[in-house]
Amino acid sequence: MAKVIPFKGVLYNPKKVDANEIMAPPYDIITPEFKEVLYKKSPYNIIRIDFGKDEDADNENENRYTRASKCLSDWLNENILINDTEPSFYCYEISYVIKGRPQNTRGFLGAVRVEELGSGRIHPHEMTYSKPKSDRLNVLRHCQANTSPIFSLYSSEKKLTSSILEDVVKEEPFIEAKNGDGFIHRLWRIDNKVSIETIIKEISDKDIFIADGHHRYETALRFKKEMEQKGMIKTGEEPYNYALMFLANIEEDGLTLLPTHRIVEIDSDINTKEILMKYFNIQKINSAEISEKQARLQMFEIMQKSVHSFGMFLTNSNTYYALLFNGSKIELDLPECLKNLDVTVLHKLIFERLLKIEHYEYEMDPDVAVERAQKGSFEAVFFLNPTKIQAVKEVALAGERMPPKSTYFYPKLLTGMVIYRF
């Protein structure tokens, strides 16, 4: 069964810091330029612990990980960070606007017992890379804490936990922070024993699907094994056996999935449009009398109306196209839950089989994707519709994994709202 427990969180002291200045986005979306911005915001910004800077004189005894550990220790001593005295869950809500529509993403933060993926109740849905896992492991080793939560989902039609959170958010939050997009992040303690028991019981028989934070989860599992090898785990209930997770109910509104687009290099000898015509009706977006941005919006509107539809921008003609699947039989030697995903069709059919694409890069922002393609050595941008949340659940339960960057859960949780310290 899935085991989630309350914990004594480490929190920023709102009497000592401005919450708007000390939080940060997840490490994996922070550019070097934005890291500098976060460093300048406040000497107590969480970036110094979670994703610090390398220095020229760094060595084995002095580096960004040793500095992270020192910051955590010093800030606790200075009362910048405070230890909660009672084990609690933490209600976390993000109020945001997307496409002009106000939304709320709401869930709770708890410590979830880690287990081998695919062996129990916790399920991944994306492939991972080794380099980010190495960085996350070093943070864990030096800080002995989870500084950034794993974004996870569960499904409960009874919505017992959801009802508790609904009542909690009527109270004043412990801390509130606004990010650069103007979205408001709020945190409340849940230390009522009845509420805690209700949450534990509801989650105990639920599957947990990792939405965002696969590297963090796999790192937590590896760290637990390191502690076992060192003889630090005797009962299985030591803090190392758990990882900080944000859990949201799939049955609630407020969850938003966005696509991540692909910027690609294509062999100049290939006639891209001619090859794609075997499987797609290609509709050119006439941009003679409209702006480039309007042409792109028109392309997205067409894409969203049918299955296996993609957008394409070719740099040599500065032109947008909508690729509309023509119904031809696609033979992909893949499990059913994967073969019908747009992102799989893009990678396995278009990239690997048809266009023989070997190099591509990822970009969420369509404007930036086109700009990067035009300025770099890229021939095209391929645009995707968002993956559906239900597909995440189906792929995870089947024990399969989507290609990297198949999903982008939006908005991102802030790092620093609460820390789970071992």
The CATH number covering residue 271 comes to 3.30.1760
User: For residue 16, which phi and psi values (nearest 5 degrees)?
Assistant: -110, -25
Q: Do 86 and 182 share a domain, yes or no? A: yes
For residue 24, the Cα-to-chain-centroid distance in whole angstroms is 14
Instruction: Give pLDDT, residue 130.
Output: 58
Instruction: Give pLDDT, residue 339.
Output: 87
Q: Is 159 inside a domain boundary?
A: yes
Quote the CA–CA distance of 291 and 308 in Å, as a whole number.
Answer: 26
Q: Do 302 and 247 share a domain, yes or no? A: no
The CATH number covering residue 173 comes to 3.90.1530.10
Residue 124: partners with Cβ closer than 8 Å, 6 or more residues away: 117, 118, 210, 214, 217, 396, 401
Quote the CA–CA distance of 113 and 233 in Å, as a whole number.
Answer: 13
Instruction: Give pLDDT, residue 132.
Output: 63
Q: Is 230 inside a domain boundary?
A: yes
Q: Do 152 and 81 share a domain, yes or no? A: yes
Residue 39: partners with Cβ closer than 8 Å, 6 or more residues away: 45, 47, 48, 53
Instruction: Give pLDDT, residue 131.
Output: 60
Q: Is 401 inside a domain boundary?
A: no
Instruction: Give pLDDT, residue 268.
Output: 82
Closest CA to 333 of 353, 351, 359: 353
Instruction: Give pLDDT, residue 254.
Output: 83
Q: Which residues of the chain have pLDDT under 70?
A: 127-132
Instruction: Give pLDDT, residue 124.
Output: 83
Q: Is 395 inside a domain boundary?
A: no
Instruction: Give pLDDT, residue 128.
Output: 63
Q: Is 206 inside a domain boundary?
A: yes
Q: Is 392 inside a domain boundary?
A: no
Instruction: Give pLDDT, residue 52.
Output: 96
Q: Do 236 and 309 share a domain, yes or no? A: no
Q: Is 399 inside a domain boundary?
A: no
Instruction: Give pLDDT, residue 285.
Output: 93
Q: Do 250 and 264 share a domain, yes or no? A: no
302: which 2 tokens? 């067409």
What sections of 230-340 are H helices per DSSP?
Answer: 272-276, 292-303, 336-339
How many domains are there within the chain?
2
Q: Do 189 and 297 share a domain, yes or no? A: no
Q: Do 113 and 251 share a domain, yes or no? A: yes
Instruction: Give pLDDT, residue 91.
Output: 98
- Residue 141 belongs to domain spanning: 4-256+409-421
Q: Do 302 and 327 share a domain, yes or no? A: yes
Instruction: Give pLDDT, residue 84.
Output: 97
Closest CA to 50 of 83, 86, 75, 14: 75
Taking the model in full, what pTM does it have? 0.89
Q: Do 183 and 276 share a domain, yes or no? A: no
Q: Is 390 inside a domain boundary?
A: no
Q: Do 146 and 197 share a domain, yes or no? A: yes
Q: Do 78 and 150 share a domain, yes or no? A: yes
Q: Do 128 and 225 share a domain, yes or no? A: yes
